[in-house]
């Protein structure tokens, strides 16, 4: 006989159901997460627990089912951690969980959110790249600016062909992304002007040579990922952003910076964050909602804005 599905009835029931509806708005089945959240709801009911969602109750639940692997225990905990991050958007008082409390897989590298000063230094160093008469200065200045202004992945940017960049309409067609999807990325007017300037310089440098790649190197070939990373590390070290030992912000943190700045702008405009997140997820090509909600807790400034909004809400209610 088939086991009857547990109906949500704990103190978290309404919040879990709202979270599931929100997640399915991203066209995800979310079946595994739903099953684990149902199990958590039943666990809470059995304990007659009526408190807040805490790390302690999440860990107790994660290990409550015997015989699982460390990866499975970590997944049960991670799903509750993602749920807590969702709740923290609307209630900044929600405690955030330690991502290392239940280990089972490699955790996400902490994001570095670049400051305006750091960005200016990186772009300045890019403009100063040698050798003389090389396309490298405008190539890397444009490439870094594109990553900062669109949040594109570096792999997506260097795979762009000329046909993918519509310099008339200001649209970039990102093909076969990390999750084998295509998406259209609109660019800001200032980014479009820089792309047009770069295209003119690129064509002068190629001297009629046929090359599909939008971003090219000094040998008139497509940029290589490892070379771009090495060049970025050189720029970051020269700018004093990375240490000589190799520690410091990464190229991928430009993508994190774009996302956090976008969410910050919504906080400043008092926009509905929940309504805006699906657009950000689509724009950045995320396959999982937790990849987008990560940016809601990635920066101290962002968390301060969220807390300030929450306090203003209660002040308005009084």
Any catalytic annotation for residue 288? no
Environment class of residue 119 by beta-carbon count within 10 Å: exposed (0-12), middle (13-18) or buried (19+)?
A: middle
Any catalytic annotation for residue 286? yes
* Residue of 178, 181, 188, 193 marked active site: 178
> What separation, in Å, do the N-terminal and C-terminal C-alpha atoms of the chain show?
54
Residue among 130, 72, 59, 133 nearest 104 (CA): 72
* Residue of 252, 262, 305, 309 marked active site: 252
Alpha helix (H) ranges present in 48-115? 55-62, 70-90
Sign of the C-alpha dihedral computed for residues 69, 72, 76 and 79 taken in this order: positive
* Residue of 86, 198, 283, 295 marked active site: 295
Residue among 67, 65, 12, 60 nearest 38 (CA): 12
* Residue of 76, 159, 202, 286 marked active site: 286
Any catalytic annotation for residue 109? no
Any catalytic annotation for residue 256? no
* Residue of 76, 78, 202, 255 marked active site: 255
* Residue of 76, 81, 141, 153 marked active site: 153
Any catalytic annotation for residue 313? no
Environment class of residue 58 by beta-carbon count within 10 Å: exposed (0-12), middle (13-18) or buried (19+)?
A: buried
Active site residues: 153, 178, 252, 255, 286, 295
């Amino acid at each position: 006989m088939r086991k009857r599905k547990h109906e949500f009835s704990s103190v978290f029931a309404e919040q879990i159901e709202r979270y599931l509806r929100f997640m399915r708005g991203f066209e995800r089945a979310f079946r595994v997460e739903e099953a684990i959240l149902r199990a958590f709801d039943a666990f809470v009911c059995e304990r007659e627990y009526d408190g807040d969602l805490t790390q302690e109750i999440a860990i107790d639940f994660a290990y409550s089912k015997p015989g699982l692997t460390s990866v499975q225990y970590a997944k049960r905990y991670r799903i509750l951690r993602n749920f807590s991050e969702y709740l923290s958007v609307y209630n900044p008082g929600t405690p955030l969980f330690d991502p290392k409390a239940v280990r089972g897989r490699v955790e996400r590298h902490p994001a570095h959110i670049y400051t305006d000063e750091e960005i200016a230094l990186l772009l300045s160093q890019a403009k100063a790249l040698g050798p003389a008469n090389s396309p490298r200065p405008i190539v890397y200045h444009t490439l870094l600016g594109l990553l900062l202004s669109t949040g594109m992945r570096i792999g997506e940017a260097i795979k762009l062909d000329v046909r993918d960049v519509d310099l008339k309409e200001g649209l970039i067609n990102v093909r076969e992304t990390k999750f084998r999807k295509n998406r259209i990325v609109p660019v800001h007017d200032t980014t479009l002007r820089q792309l047009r300037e770069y295209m003119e310089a690129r064509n002068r440098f190629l001297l009629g040579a046929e090359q599909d790649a939008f971003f090219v190197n000094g040998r008139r070939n497509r940029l290589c990922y490892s070379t771009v990373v090495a060049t970025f590390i050189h720029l970051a070290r020269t700018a004093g952003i990375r240490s000589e030992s190799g520690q410091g912000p990464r190229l991928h943190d430009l993508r994190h910076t774009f996302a956090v700045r976008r969410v910050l702008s919504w906080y400043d405009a008092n926009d509905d964050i929940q309504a805006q997140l699906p657009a950000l997820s689509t724009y950045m090509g995320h396959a999982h909602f937790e990849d987008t909600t990560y940016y809601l807790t990635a920066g101290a400034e962002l968390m301060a804005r969220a807390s300030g909004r929450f306090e203003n809400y209660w002040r308005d209610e009084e």
